[in-house]
Amino acid sequence: MTHDPAVPGPPPPAPPPAGAPGGAPSVPLPPTTQPAAAPVQPVPAATPVTSPAREAVLAVRSEVGKVIVGQQGVLSGVISALLVNGHVLLEGVPGVAKTLLAKTLAAAFDMQFARVQFTPDLMPSDVVGMTVLDQAPGQAPTFRFREGPVFTNLLLADEINRTPPKTQAALLEAMEERQVSIDGQRRRLPDPFLVIATQNPIEYEGTFPLPEAQLDRFLFKLVVGYPTEEQEGEMLARHHAGMDPHATESLIRPVASAEHLHAARAEIDAITVEPAVLRYIVALSRATRESPSLQLGVSPRGATWLLHASKAWAWLSGRGFVTPDEVKSVAKPCLRHRIMVRPELELEGTTADAVLDGLLAAVPTPR
């Protein structure tokens, strides 16, 4: 059995390390906002991973919770992507806090934040920047580069599917190489750099579907759903009490930094992955390419991202090694946008998640 098909469920809390001050357990990760089947219980870690970097990253969840009610599964996915230098595509109807989540996450990580509203008339130079003629009074005219909003730590590409492919492609080099090339010069982007793109799943008139080459550059495609009845009631109560969720400067304090992220990435790189788990990832990826229900399977880059996402999930869970449960937890959000269901099956209502469910059940799990 796997986690919620809409978003990855938060990793389970790890037991406290021996000799921890007060014996307090790690911060537990709340359940997702979507109804989920009972997750597979992972094998407890003999030596839980604990470090200042992990404590800081877990503190971000609590800090974002001051503004965002629910959506813990989505938040876990975005944090996991940030930990492994990935990017995230959020799909959800308007008004479910996609933009607010990105803004508060940047504030909690003390990162620069920029938002671009993608429209049909948006030009590539509006995203990456351009060279302009600087004519200061009393000085000779000179050319200088004016940075675009992509020169930031967290870029929110709002409604990315409403802009033409020419402008969408302006993000390709930035997302993959973490640089932009303008006038023959390569300009490095800040580190960390994360793109969170959003799109509306119900309004396709006047939109430009993202090409497969760009979809493959997103680590996760997360479906942002409605909050539960209790969560929506809590949200209304906060608004009734006068809380302004957009006043992030007064509500959110930085609890993690770029140094914590760099340390976390080094720890994630050291996570152990047994050969049997590597073979399991390969088997899942190859199964998508051989499935009669799909006309496009997972690319080798997708298999690599599945490995990195599994290691980040294990680290958040407090383990120093990857189990098949981590792979299953992140498989659907990591792979659903990398496969294409055959048109005749799509007409019958078959979805990418349904095909992945079948493959996860069919591919033998290592023991």
Q: pLDDT-derived band of residue 139, with 50, 70 and 90 as boundaries?
A: confident
What are the residue boundaries of the structural domains of the chain, listed by start?
A: 1-9+44-261, 271-367
Cβ atoms of 333 and 88 closer than 8 Å: no
For 172, phi then psi, to 5°, come to -60, -55
pLDDT for 281 equals 97
- Asked if residue 84 has pLDDT above 70, the reply is yes
pLDDT for 170 equals 84
Residue 96 class from Cβ within 10 Å (0-12 exposed, 13-18 middle, 19+ buried)? Answer: buried
- From the list 35, 38, 14, the residue with the least C-alpha distance to 26 is 14
Residue 207 class from Cβ within 10 Å (0-12 exposed, 13-18 middle, 19+ buried)? Answer: middle
Contacts of 211 (CB under 8 A, 6+ apart): 165, 168, 169
- From the list 169, 258, 154, 170, the residue with the least C-alpha distance to 211 is 169
Identity of the amino acid at 272: T
Tell me which of 66-70, 98-102, 107-111, 313-317 is least confident.
66-70
Q: pLDDT tens digits, residue range 124-137? A: 999 999 888 888 78
Q: pLDDT tens digits, residue range 222-249? A: 999 898 899 889 989 988 888 887 777 7
Tell me which of 28-32, 218-222, 304-308 is least confident.
28-32
Contacts of 361 (CB under 8 A, 6+ apart): none
- Asked if residue 327 has pLDDT above 70, the reply is yes
d(CA 265, CA 242): 39
Angle CA(7)–CA(345)–CA(220) in degrees, nearest 5? 25
Cβ atoms of 207 and 76 closer than 8 Å: no
**β-pair partners for 130:** 146
For domain 1-9+44-261, give its CATH number from 3.40.50.300, 3.40.605.10, 3.40.50.1110, 3.90.1150.10. 3.40.50.300
pLDDT for 132 equals 86
Q: pLDDT tens digits, residue range 166-211? A: 888 888 888 988 999 888 888 999 999 999 999 988 877 778 888 8
d(CA 168, CA 158): 12
pLDDT for 4 equals 46
Q: pLDDT-derived band of residue 48, with 50, 70 and 90 as boundaries?
A: low
pLDDT higher at 9 or 68: 68
DSSP string computed for 99-166: HHHHHHHHHHTT--EEEEE--TT--THHHHEEEEEE--TTS--EEEEEE-TTSSSEEEEETGGGS-HH
Q: pLDDT tens digits, residue range 256-299? A: 988 999 999 999 999 999 999 999 999 999 999 999 999 999 99
| Whole-structure pTM value | 0.82
For domain 271-367, give its CATH number from 3.40.50.300, 3.90.550.10, 3.40.50.10190, 1.10.8.80. 1.10.8.80
